[in-house]
Amino acid sequence: MKVTMAKRSNPAVRIAQESAHNALFDADGKPKPGVHNMLLKAVEIQRPLVLAYIRRLQRKHPKATAAQLADILERNYLRAVTGGGAVVGATAVVPGVGTVASLGLSAAATVGFLEATALYATSLAELHGIRLTNPEKASTMVMAIMLGEEGTALLGTLSGQAAAGGGVGATKHWGNVLSKSLPMPGFSSIRNRIQKAFLKNLLKRQGTALFGRALPFGIGAVVGGAGNLVMGRAVVANAKEAFGPMPDTLPGELRAAGGPDNQLEGNTLGSQR
């Protein structure tokens, strides 16, 4: 006679899920105000930091074209977000760091993922000639990139353009709009819509990743790194779709750092107005 044994739930998983949920949501299931502020702050980035990062890469690769620098940005980004998820997940097996305690580090990994994403997306924008001097506009673009088609469609509405399709023309259009230093009619409304969709989407996706990183016995290291890799690749795909093909030459401001081999002719995308 075959005896079927009932499956036992892993109490560590249950504790991880409950603790992570309680850390992010209130009794009514709504995200706590501090969570929203933390996530929105993580996607803000100052342009001087972006330029310093790109120029550091240019010094290391002085003959690199815009496309080659974009490939380097992508590799660095995926390596950073995958390693970050794995390192945090591995803390569950370190003596003295229990499942519940590791949830705090999981929240830190979420912030780290967003900061790395902001650096990647805005650096790629710079290679396309989109100069995001306003941190609020830069963070709006980052959130839109993470949302994918929905986000870039909303960006397209900033200047009354239908967002169906995409490609170089659409990118040049909203890229120039975001690069303007003057206030834009309707920007706050579009930003609020992008922000709302971004937070809803992120909490849904990162909630699962948060639980995964808190799993004990080394499983978290695998789940955390793999989860970040999936999300990171989605960001890369969204960015490539949004920005279109890489330009043949570097924008003027970056060309000066890259040397005489990287000449720019007639690319006015993202110029200040």
pLDDT for 175? 76
Q: Residue 10 pLDDT more than 70?
A: no
pTM attached to this predicted model: 0.75
pLDDT digits (tens, 9 = 90+) for 30-64: 666 677 788 788 888 889 999 999 999 999 999 99
Least confident of 42-46, 222-226, 240-244, 250-254: 222-226
Note the pLDDT of residue 127.
Answer: 94
* Contact criterion met (CB below 8 Å) for 132 and 143: no
Q: What is the DSSP letter of 9?
A: P
CA distances to 16, 59, 118, 219 from 115, in Å: 24, 23, 5, 25
Query: Mind listing the pLDDT tens digit for each residue in 131-173?
Result: 888 888 899 999 999 988 888 888 878 766 444 444 455 566 6
Q: Are 91 and 219 in contact (CB under 8 A)?
A: no
* Phi and psi based region of residue 218 (left: phi greater than 0; alpha: psi -120 to 50; beta: remaining): left
* Domains of the chain, residue spans: 16-24+31-256
206 CB-near residues (< 8 Å, 6+ apart): 110, 113
